[in-house]
């Protein structure tokens, strides 16, 4: 295999070991399928799952969408940890390297500027709608945050000046906004009701919307900064820490 | 169990997903694999819709296809840049740090 300038997948073509591996995987899949077909009560479509349990408690959850009810009310702790994982990912990327500078000044073509001007507001609007929609239909903080992140990526790839010139402090505050609001509400719940993330009766809907909005902002910023690939130039440098 | 035109659609979808997955794993050009991965993500979102999971479909379309693809592409660009021996960011930082340490030591002396 010749390696040229392009980045190549360095793997070997079929040899004996690969073929054996493929056979093993095929046998495993066939075995799993056989188990699923033979075992009574586990054929797809007949398992009751937790749908009944969720729908019986739906009215207390403060939202109409069962998915949002599970994610932010019944299993809110899991979502809290997921948001923390995203924050950890950005911390990891920032501690590795600085964001690459766009050293070549390119003139942005009018077509591209037009696309950015058209798409960025629409993306923000769709993100807000998805977060709002999360209470009764499909949608929520992660989906809205992903759309916001896409808007950020759009601004980054079109080589605009101001997204890279945002002060690092603002970015840091934006990153921890969602997790802080989430943890703050969780602690308040712990204080008032005695349980972590057990929303006091009647306020669940608004608290969930508040958490989702803050988390969507932070998740969007997180994803855009992950694409940026490093801490900003004006962030604390190594010399300042020591 | 009733069969309809959607069953045919499902079968074609599953076969296309399997074929795309195989192609992207076995392609030698990583750039091509990334593009195949993005299309895989989009079709996977369609499959989630067919499995009546619109939440997962939204997340898959936005995260799997929309954001992971560009992330891979930018990582690929950085890998290429590193291989060509152009400016490496981390090594530059290290050099600056070493330089700073040296100057501090000389000042102390």
Residue B104 has pLDDT above 60, yes or no: no
Give residue A242's pLDDT band: very low, low, confident or very high (50, 70, 90). very low
Residue B37 has pLDDT above 90, yes or no: yes
Percent of chain A surpassing pLDDT 70: 85
Cα(A182)–Cα(A102) distance, rounded to whole angstroms?
Answer: 35
Write out residues 139-178 of A within 8 Å (CB-CB) of B: 139-140, 142-143, 146-147, 149-150, 153, 157
Chain-chain contact of B67 with A96 (C-beta, under 8 angstroms): no
Write out residues 36-95 of B within 8 Å (CB-CB) of A: 54-55, 57-59, 62-63, 66-67, 70-71, 74-76, 78-80, 83, 89-90, 93
Residue B108 has pLDDT above 80, yes or no: no
Give residue A8's pLDDT band: very low, low, confident or very high (50, 70, 90). low
Chain-chain contact of B62 with A146 (C-beta, under 8 angstroms): yes
User: What is the value of pTM for the model shown?
Assistant: 0.75
| Per-residue pLDDT at A14 | 59
Give residue A10's pLDDT band: very low, low, confident or very high (50, 70, 90). low
Residue A47 has pLDDT above 70, yes or no: no
Question: Which of A186, A230, A232 has the alpha carbon at shortest distance from A210?
Answer: A186
Using the Cα atoms of residue A39, residue B47, residue A75 and residue A64 in order, give the sign of their dihedral. negative
Q: What are the backbone angles phi and psi of residue A45, rounded to the nearest 5°?
A: 95, -15
A134 or B43, which is more confident: B43
A242 or A52, which is more confident: A52
Buried b or exposed e, range A106-126, using 16+ CB within 10 angstroms:
eeeeeebeeebeebbeebeeb
CB atoms under 10 Å from CB of A177, counted, come to 16
Q: What is the pLDDT of residues A116-163, one digit of tens each?
A: 999 999 999 999 998 988 878 877 888 899 999 989 988 888 878 788
Q: What is the pLDDT of residues A168-225, one digit of tens each?
A: 889 999 999 999 999 999 888 888 887 777 787 777 888 888 999 999 999 999 999 9
| Per-residue pLDDT at B82 | 72
Task: Let me know: does B44 contact A21? Beta carbons within 8 Å.
Answer: no
Residue A143: which of B62, B70, B80 has the nearest Cβ?
B62
A103 or A61, which is more confident: A61
| Per-residue pLDDT at B20 | 93
Residue in B with minimal Cα distance to A67: B55
Chain-chain contact of B62 with A150 (C-beta, under 8 angstroms): yes
In the structure encoding, which two tokens stand for residue B41, read together?
């993500």
Please tell me whether residue B29 adopts helix, strand or coil conformation. strand
Task: Let me know: does A93 contact B78? Beta carbons within 8 Å.
Answer: no
* Ramachandran bin of B16, using left for φ above 0, alpha for ψ from -120 to 50, beta for the remaining angles: alpha
Angle of helix B68-83 relative to helix B30-50, nearest 10 degrees, comes to: 170
Instruction: Taking residues A99-127, report their average pLDDT.
Output: 83
Chain-chain contact of B70 with A227 (C-beta, under 8 angstroms): yes
């Amino acid at each position: 295999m010749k390696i040229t300038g392009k980045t190549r997948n360095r793997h070997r073509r079929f040899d004996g070991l690969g073929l054996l591996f493929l056979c093993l995987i095929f046998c495993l899949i066939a075995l799993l399928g056989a188990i699923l077909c033979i075992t009574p009560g586990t054929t797809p479509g007949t398992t009751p799952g937790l749908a009944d349990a969720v729908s019986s408690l739906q009215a207390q959850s403060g939202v109409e969408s069962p998915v949002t009810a599970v994610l932010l009310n019944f299993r809110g702790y899991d979502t809290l940890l997921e948001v923390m994982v995203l924050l950890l990912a950005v911390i990891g990327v920032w501690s590795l390297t600085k964001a690459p500078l766009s050293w070549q000044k390119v003139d942005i073509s009018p077509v591209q500027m037009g696309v950015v001007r058209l798409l960025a507001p629409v993306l923000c609007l769709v993100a807000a709608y998805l977060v709002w929609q999360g209470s009764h239909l499909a949608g929520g903080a992660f989906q809205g945050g992903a759309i916001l992140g896409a808007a950020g990526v759009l601004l980054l790839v079109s080589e605009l000046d101001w997204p890279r010139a945002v002060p690092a402090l603002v970015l840091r505050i934006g990153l921890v906004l969602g997790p802080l609001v989430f943890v703050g509400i969780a602690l308040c719940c712990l204080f008032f009701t005695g349980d972590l993330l057990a929303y006091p009766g009647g306020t669940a809907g608004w608290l969930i919307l508040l958490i989702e909005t803050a988390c969507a902002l932070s998740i969007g910023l997180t994803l855009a900064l992950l694409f940026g690939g490093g801490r900003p130039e004006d962030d604390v440098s190594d010399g300042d820490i020591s | 169990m009733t069969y309809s035109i959607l069953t045919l659609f499902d079968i074609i979808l599953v076969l296309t997903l399997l074929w795309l997955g195989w192609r992207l794993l076995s392609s030698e050009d990583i750039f091509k694999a990334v593009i195949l991965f993005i299309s895989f993500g989009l079709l996977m979102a369609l499959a989630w819709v067919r499995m009546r999971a619109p939440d997962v479909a939204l997340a898959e379309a936005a995260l799997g296809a929309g954001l992971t693809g560009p992330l891979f592409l930018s990582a690929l660009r950085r890998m290429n840049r590193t291989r060509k021996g152009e400016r490496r960011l981390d090594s530059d930082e290290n050099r600056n740090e070493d330089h700073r340490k040296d100057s501090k030591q000389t000042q102390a002396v």
